[in-house]
Structures are given as structure tokens and as C-alpha cells.
């Protein structure tokens, strides 16, 4: 597959998988216009995205809305470029993501600079305007595309506190953002103890044949979401069990049996211990 090329994965639903961050962008069209989900990690990258969107859509088709699945820079730093191309489009996101993007994205780029100071595209990201959603919601939001509608849902916290998913009911398709990945990304703003519950809600929305678009990686199916649910539930249960035994967070990775590589779970353990209720922590935690 050509890097960044749109592939139709369901009726009038196209996904473009990009090598940079292995991130997906989804385009959904209806009789009244189209919706773009996520916008890449820089304005420069989004300029190419705009041209590819125009090649896919019928001439004159308006872009009605841009949706941010969460507040991380690799999904939102193209917002300004896309909105410049379609100034009538609304920018939609969960209220928590919208509140965190203005300060959170620059902080993420600072962290990126600290860990990867030689990243050749760091300046490109820093030069991009940070634009946050102005149409926000807390639980559910609907976008009308004329002959079809999109359901935007905040299923709970997981990868971030502002995760949302986009359901295309007539296509039996779900754009899951970073709540679904082959290797879940537990970052410093993740909610490892709540992630299983959020995925359980998603499973209730999916049929065995549903198409699932993850935030990163190949388009997949319900069974992959079920597997991830079981694995993140094991992470949450292991954190609770170790803390209940009095194992300190500093020893948890070496002590527990985990479904994912230990180096991918440092934030999961730290955040999980911090989020446990006081009664769940057995002393001495030394």
C-alpha cells in the first residue's frame, strides 16, 4: 500500500495509513458532505493529506467536520491546515481533549525533544499551529451527513482522559483511535485501570464482522479488540494484585507476569498505583 494513500474499507469510508507514527486517518462521506478523523503530526504533512482527500471526494463535496480522537500531537497538529482548506468545517473533540490540547501538545513536543533530540521532523512539528476543537461534548455527539450519520462516543478513559470513538452504523465500522492498538500505548496521561471498562463498552458496539480502525496499524476486527480487552484487564488486575500484596511500584514490573513487554508498561504501573483507592494499597510499600 502506498504511504498515506486512501483505501476504501467500507461503503464511502476510506482509511489512509501513514508511515510516520504508523498513524491512520479516516475519511467518511455522505450525501451532504464528508468528515475527516484525525489530521497527522504537522501542518506540512496535512497539506499532502488535504490533496489526497480532494482526490477521493467528488468535486464540490464539502468537508463538514474534522474530528480529533484525542489530544496527542500525532493526531491533531494538522488541524490548522485542514481547516484552512475547508474553513466551514467544524472541529470536534471530547471536552477534556479540547481543554488539554493548547498546553498539552507543546509539552508533548518538549518530551519528544528530550527523548529524540535528533528527530529531523521535530522543527516541522514545532512550527505547526496548535488548534483545539471548538465543538465539544462529554458523552455522545452525532454528525449528520445527509443519508447517514456518525455517532461520536466517549466510552471512558484509557489511552487518555479525552478518548473518543467514531461509529458508522450503516457500515458496521468503528474508528477507535488509540484505545485500540496492537501494543497499547500506556503514556504518562493514560488510565490503565479504566482502560478495560472502556474497551468493554466498545465490544458491546461491535458485531463479529465489524471493521475496526485503530489509531495506529492495520485495520482489524472485533476479535482483536476482545484480545486487547483481556490483556489490558490482566494489566489492571496485576497492578491491583501486586499493590494489595504490598509490592512497591518500583518492583512491580520485575515481580508481575505481564501480557506485554515490561518496557512498555512503566507508565501503566506508575499511573495504576497512583489511581488505586487508598484501601487497595497494603503496607509496607517499601
pLDDT at residue 7, as a whole number: 98
Helix (H) or strand (E) holding 175: strand 173-177
60 in Cβ contact with 22 (< 8 Å): no
Query: pLDDT band at 282, cuts 50/70/90?
Result: low
Where do runs of H (alpha helix) occur along 144-211? 195-205
Residue 279 scores a pLDDT above 80:
no
In a domain, 80, yes or no: yes
What is the pLDDT averaged over residues 217-242?
97
Going by DSSP bridges, is the β-strand pair 140-144/173-177 parallel, antiparallel, or unpaired? unpaired
For CA atoms 88, 105, 102, 149, the dihedral sign is positive
pLDDT at residue 157, as a whole number: 98
In a domain, 158, yes or no: yes
Q: In total, how many domains does the chain have?
A: 1
Q: What is the pLDDT of residues 107-150, one digit of tens each?
A: 999 999 999 999 999 999 999 999 999 999 999 999 999 999 99
Query: pLDDT band at 278, cuts 50/70/90?
Result: confident
pTM metric for this prediction: 0.96
66 in Cβ contact with 90 (< 8 Å): yes
Torsion of CA 191, 196, 202, 206, to 10 degrees: 150
Residue-by-residue DSSP string for 230-279: HHHHHHHHHHHHHHHTT--HHHHHHHS--SS-GGG-HHHHHHHHHHS-GG
In a domain, 68, yes or no: yes
The DSSP bridge partners found for residue 136 are 93
pLDDT, the chain, mean: 96
CATH number at residue 92: 3.60.15.10
In a domain, 286, yes or no: no
Residue 148 structural domain? 6-280
Query: pLDDT band at 277, cuts 50/70/90?
Result: confident
pLDDT at residue 121, as a whole number: 96
235 in Cβ contact with 270 (< 8 Å): no
Q: What is the pLDDT of residues 191-218, one digit of tens each?
A: 999 999 999 999 999 999 999 999 999 9
In a domain, 285, yes or no: no
pLDDT at residue 286, as a whole number: 44
pLDDT at residue 281, as a whole number: 67
What is the pLDDT averaged over residues 246-259?
96
> How many CB atoms lie under 10 A from the CB of residue 115?
7
216 in Cβ contact with 24 (< 8 Å): yes
Show the cell assigned to 160. Answer: 487518555
Helix (H) or strand (E) holding 149: strand 149-153
pLDDT at residue 6, as a whole number: 98
Percent pLDDT > 70 in the chain is: 97
Residue 169 scores a pLDDT above 80:
yes
Amino acid at each position: 500500500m502506498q504511504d498515506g494513500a486512501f483505501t476504501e474499507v467500507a461503503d464511502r469510508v476510506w482509511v489512509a495509513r501513514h508511515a510516520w507514527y504508523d498513524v491512520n486517518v479516516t475519511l467518511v462521506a455522505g450525501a451532504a458532505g464528508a468528515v475527516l478523523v484525525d489530521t497527522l503530526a504537522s501542518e506540512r504533512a496535512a497539506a499532502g493529506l488535504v490533496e489526497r482527500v480532494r482526490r477521493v471526494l467528488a468535486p464540490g463535496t464539502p468537508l463538514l467536520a474534522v474530528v480529533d480522537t484525542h489530544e496527542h500531537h500525532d493526531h491533531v497538529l494538522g488541524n490548522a491546515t485542514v481547516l484552512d482548506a475547508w474553513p466551514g468545517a467544524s472541529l470536534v473533540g471530547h471536552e477534556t481533549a479540547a481543554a488539554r490540547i493548547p498546553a498539552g501538545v507543546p509539552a508533548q513536543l518538549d518530551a519528544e525533544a528530550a527523548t529524540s533530540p535528533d528527530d529531523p521532523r521535530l522543527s516541522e512539528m514545532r512550527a505547526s499551529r496548535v488548534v483545539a476543537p471548538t465543538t465539544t461534548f462529554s458523552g455522545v455527539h452525532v454528525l449528520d451527513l445527509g443519508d447517514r450519520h456518525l455517532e461520536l462516543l466517549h466510552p471512558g478513559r484509557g489511552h487518555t482522559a479525552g478518548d473518543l470513538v467514531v461509529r458508522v452504523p450503516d457500515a458496521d465500522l468503528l474508528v477507535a483511535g488509540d484505545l485500540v492498538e496492537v501494543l497499547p500505548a500506556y503514556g504518562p496521561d493514560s488510565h490503565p485501570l479504566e482502560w478495560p471498562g472502556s474497551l468493554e463498552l466498545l465490544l458491546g458496539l461491535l458485531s463479529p464482522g465489524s471493521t475496526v480502525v485503530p489509531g495506529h496499524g492495520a485495520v482489524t476486527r472485533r476479535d482483536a479488540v476482545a484480545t486487547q480487552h483481556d490483556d489490558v484487564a490482566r494489566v489492571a488486575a496485576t497492578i491491583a494484585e501486586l499493590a494489595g500484596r504490598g509490592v512497591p511500584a518500583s518492583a512491580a514490573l520485575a515481580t508481575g507476569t505481564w501480557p506485554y513487554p515490561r518496557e512498555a508498561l512503566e507508565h501503566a504501573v506508575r499511573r495504576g498505583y497512583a489511581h488505586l483507592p487508598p484501601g487497595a494499597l497494603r503496607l509496607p510499600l517499601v
